[in-house]
């Protein structure tokens, strides 16, 4: 490893259609890191089965998600791209952390579990409840320092930090303490039809989100149909202008411009003109992204995942064995 090189780890579940919020909040951060740091990007399929999945669809989504990583600019030579279930150290470590690192009181604080289950906590799978511990295992196996994610994942990364500290206190210097990194603009992109709600790939109404594989003209239409605020003017203020502020974040994230600059450029625009400009940006972004996406075949991707598995396994096994040794399993 080069001096000053950091270890970066992140992942996305192959569940549902990845959307522009996943891109802006998480994926868009990744390619910028791979020249300086050691980057590991995982398709977290064991996280995806915490809620019921159709097996055929899951298999398809794993390949699609890996292709999306490549289309976003991840270089499989510089970075490791692999599938979580290919490296059994992840589930093995998750079990060990369940026993020696995580507490029920920690998991009871997780807001994502509360939001996802609502009134139906009792019928949720144990896996959905325990999901943050598997995520901690993903991160801690690799000596990760940096975890580039959207804002909703900060709490899970904080838990990984707490677990790492607890294990280190008892068993010595096993884990590196990781840190979440989120974007300044766009760490939380909201739904197009309801800016009080996060844009999410498991949303039932497809008009709330723009999928990365939506037809470009569909992306354009969704922007034109997005809700706006009741008062006029293009400026950023989450309380007063939640819908326009969200559109500004999307514009900045896909158009590579700063929100401040956009506000200046559009100070005299009406909503229609502003949306039209944003629709152009979205349409062009989708065209370019999908051209790149379509340049990879499924066979390409399977090969890349296979290579990634071998590289990831080596790193993961070493730290897992160190911990197993420390706790008396080997
Ligand atoms: P699901 O609805 O299936 O839980 P999701 O859309 O929330 O999916 P995840 O797989 O949980 O997506 O998240 C993948 C990455 O995208 C994470 O880093 C997450 O923080 C980020 N992300 C998800 N939703 C948003 C959002 N609305 N704004 C910014 N980043 C987001
Ligand atoms: N829980 C994350 C996905 C995830 C992840 C990780 C992200 C699983 N393991 C490790 C960063 C690092 C989510 O976005 N739902």
- Structurally, at CATH architecture level, domain 7-182+302-327 sits in 3-Layer(aba) Sandwich (3.40)
Site to substitute for ligand 1 among 25, 124, 248, most atoms within 8 A of C-beta: 25
- CA-proximal residue: ligand 2, atom 8 (nearest): 135
* pLDDT at residue number 95: 98
- State pLDDT tens for residues 147-185: 999 999 999 999 999 999 999 999 999 999 999 999 998
Q: How far, in Å, from the CA of 327 to the mean position of ligand 1?
A: 35
| Closest-lying ligand 2 atom to the alpha carbon of residue 84 | 9
Task: Please give the pLDDT value at position 260.
Answer: 95
Considering every ligand atom shown, identify the ligand nearest to the alpha carbon of residue 21 and give its number.
Answer: 1
- State the SS3 of the chain: CCCCCCEEEEEECCCCCCEHHHHHHCHHHHHHHCCCCEEEEEECHHHHCCCCCCHHHHHHHHHHHHHHHHHCCCCCCCCEEEEHHHCCHHHHHHHHHHHHCCCHHHHCCCHHHHHHHCCCHHHCCHHHHHHHHHHHHHHHCCCCCEEECCHHHHHHHHHHHHHHHHHHHHHCCCCCCCEEECCCCCCCCECCCCCCCECCCCCCCHHHCCECCCCHHHHHHHHHHCCCCCCCCCCCCCCCCHHHHHHHHHHHHHHCCCHHHHHHHCCCCCHHHHHHHHHHHHHHHHHHHHHHHHCCCHHHHHHHHHHHHHHHHHHHHHHHHHHHHHHCCC
End-to-end C-alpha distance for the chain, whole angstroms: 28
pTM of model > 0.85: yes
What homologous superfamily is domain 206-293 in, according to CATH?
A: Tyrosyl-Transfer RNA Synthetase (1.10.240.10)
For residue 202, what pLDDT is reported?
83
Verify whether ligand 2 is closer than 6 Å to residue 30 (CB atom): no
Catalytic residues: 116, 198, 201
Beta strand 146-148 with 38-43 is unpaired
- Residue ranges of domains in the chain: 7-182+302-327, 206-293
22 lines ligand 2 (CB under 6 A): no
| pLDDT score recorded for residue 3 | 67
Looking at residue 40, what is its pLDDT? 98
Does the beta carbon of 94 sit less than 6 angstroms from any atom of ligand 2? no
pLDDT in tens, 96-149: 999 999 999 999 999 999 999 998 999 999 999 999 999 999 999 999 999 999
Ligand 2 atom, smallest distance to 131 CA = 1
Q: Average pLDDT for consecutive 10-residue bins of the chain (330 residues)?
A: 86 96 98 96 98 97 98 98 98 98 97 93 96 98 98 98 98 98 95 96 92 98 97 95 98 96 96 97 98 98 98 98 98
Q: Report which protein residue has its CA nearest ligand 2's atom 12.
A: 10
C-alpha of residue 65 to centroid of ligand 1, in Å: 13
Task: Kindly state if the Cβ of 9 falls inside 6 Å of ligand 2.
Answer: yes
């Amino acid at each position: 490893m080069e001096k000053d090189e950091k270890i970066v780890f992140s992942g996305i579940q192959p569940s549902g259609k990845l959307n522009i919020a996943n891109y802006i909040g998480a994926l868009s951060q990744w390619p910028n890191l791979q020249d300086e740091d050691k980057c590991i990007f995982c398709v977290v399929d064991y996280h995806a089965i915490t809620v019921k999945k159709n097996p055929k669809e899951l298999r398809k989504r794993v390949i699609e998600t890996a292709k999306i990583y490549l289309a976003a600019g991840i270089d499989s030579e510089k970075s490791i791209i692999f599938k979580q279930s290919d490296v059994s150290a992840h589930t093995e470590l998750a079990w060990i952390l369940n026993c020696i690192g995580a507490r029920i009181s920690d998991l009871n604080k997780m807001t994502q579990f509360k939001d996802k289950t609502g009134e139906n906590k009792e019928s949720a799978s144990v896996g959905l409840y325990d999901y943050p511990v598997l995520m901690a295992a993903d991160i801690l196996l690799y000596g990760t320092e940096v975890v580039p994610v959207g804002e909703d994942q900060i709490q899970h990364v904080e838990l990984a930090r707490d677990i790492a500290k607890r294990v280190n206190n008892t068993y010595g210097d096993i884990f590196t303490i990781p840190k979440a990194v989120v974007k300044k603009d766009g760490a939380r992109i909201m739904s197009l039809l309801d800016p009080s709600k996060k844009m999410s790939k498991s949303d039932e109404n497809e008009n709330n989100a723009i999928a990365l594989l939506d037809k470009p003209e569909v992306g354009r239409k969704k922007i034109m149909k997005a809700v706006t605020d009741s008062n006029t003017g293009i400026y950023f203020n989450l309380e007063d202008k939640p819908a326009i502020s969200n559109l500004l974040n999307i514009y900045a994230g896909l158009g590579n411009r700063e929100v401040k600059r956009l506000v200046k450029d559009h100070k005299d625009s009406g909503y229609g003109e502003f949306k039209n400009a944003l629709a152009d940006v979205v349409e062009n972004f989708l065209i370019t992204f999908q051209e790149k996406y379509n340049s990879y075949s499924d066979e390409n991707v399977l090969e890349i995942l296979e290579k990634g598995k071998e590289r990831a396994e080596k790193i993961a096994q070493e730290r897992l064995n160190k911990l197993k040794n420390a706790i008396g399993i080997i």
